[in-house]
């Protein structure tokens, strides 16, 4: 057996995010199109008996390194489903995705951990991978596939879409976030009419095409200004500075621009005077889909 397995865990944005209803169990139904990015963490697994989870990189301080870490939870879920042992397993994370911004860093670490364990354990099946991803969270099933993916239900019903043409993406990341932000956003949406899935359906029916930020839809934008203090001001400043439409990334509070790759450096340069972190990246296909 090799001593270790390593792979990137990409950040994501939501090109479409519709909230279509509230379930009897208290969760919400979504219909979303997830797109992975070149910006990534790196996950390395080994069975050398080291600490269970370690984190390095610029965003390591915000990363839990105990059994609450999503990558470890994913490994534990897959071990339960397949009968494998976690004895000696060590997960090393190089954290380059800003945390708690709606960019899916922790969920992507979990999905990549599952894919690496698929290499390490001979009895892992597609159904056990999918079940483990669903057990951990809502973004993990889509990130298990990577690229451009439509996800419905709680996120567990995933359909791979043709890969989007390569686009430039500029991320604008506020330096503060909120506790329980996603729950607060869903609660705020409960007072408004739900979406019907038509935007995701139309997106999935189209051939891969060129996008701009004006083509993006995110239901949370209807309530984000009320939930995140200062976000409305940053959003307005970002659109004024860049001259471009700016959108909310997932459950936020990160914002993003998407468009022609050749324009990303220019948009990023215009945004650097704002009171936020600015990261220029690009859309990316899937490492796992064949």
Task: Using CB atoms within 10 Å of the CB of residue 2, give its burial: 0 to 12 exposed, 13 to 18 middle, 19+ buried.
Answer: exposed
Question: Choosing from 12, 31, 94, 195, which is the catalytic residue?
Answer: 12
Sequence-ordered list of residues with C-beta below 8 angstroms from that of 205, at least 6 positions apart, any chain: none
| Listed residue (52, 56, 53) closest to 94, CA to CA | 56
| Residues 10, 211 contacting (CB under 8 angstroms) | no
Question: Choosing from 31, 94, 109, 139, which is the catalytic residue?
Answer: 139
For the question of residue 12 being annotated catalytic, the response is yes
For the question of residue 139 being annotated catalytic, the response is yes
| Residues 264, 169 contacting (CB under 8 angstroms) | yes
155: left (phi over 0), alpha (psi -120 to 50) or beta: left
Cα separation of 201 and 206, whole Å?
A: 9
The catalytic residue positions are 12, 139
């Amino acid at each position: 057996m090799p001593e270790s397995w390593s792979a990137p865990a990409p950040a994501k944005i939501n090109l479409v995010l519709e909230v279509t209803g509230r379930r009897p169990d208290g969760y919400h139904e979504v219909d979303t199109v997830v797109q992975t990015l070149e910006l990534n963490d790196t996950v390395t697994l080994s069975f050398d008996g080291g600490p269970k989870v370690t984190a390095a990189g610029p965003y390591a301080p915000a990363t839990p390194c105990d059994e609450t870490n999503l990558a470890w939870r994913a490994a534990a879920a897959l071990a339960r489903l397949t009968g494998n042992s976690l004895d000696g397993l060590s997960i090393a994370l190089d954290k380059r995705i800003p945390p708690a911004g709606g960019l899916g860093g922790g969920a992507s670490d979990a999905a990549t951990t599952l894919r690496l364990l698929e290499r390490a354990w001979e009895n892992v099946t597609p159904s056990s991978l999918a079940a483990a991803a669903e057990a951990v969270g809502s973004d993990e099933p889509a990130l298990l596939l990577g690229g451009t993916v439509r996800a419905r239900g709680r996120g567990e019903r995933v359909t791979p879409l043709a890969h989007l043409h390569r686009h430039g993406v500029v991320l604008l990341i506020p330096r503060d976030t909120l506790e329980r932000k996603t729950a607060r956003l869903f609660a705020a949406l409960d007072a408004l009419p739900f979406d019907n899935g038509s935007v995701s359906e139309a997106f999935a029916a189209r051939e891969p095409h060129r996008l701009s930020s004006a083509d993006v839809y995110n239901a949370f934008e209807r309530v984000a200004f009320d939930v995140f203090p200062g976000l409305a001001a940053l959003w307005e400043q970002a659109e004024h500075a860049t001259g471009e439409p700016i959108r909310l990334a997932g459950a936020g509070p990160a914002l993003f621009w998407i468009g022609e790759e050749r324009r990303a450096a220019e948009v990023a340069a215009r945004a650097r005077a704002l009171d936020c972190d600015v990261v220029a990246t690009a859309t990316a296909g899937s490492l796992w889909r064949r």
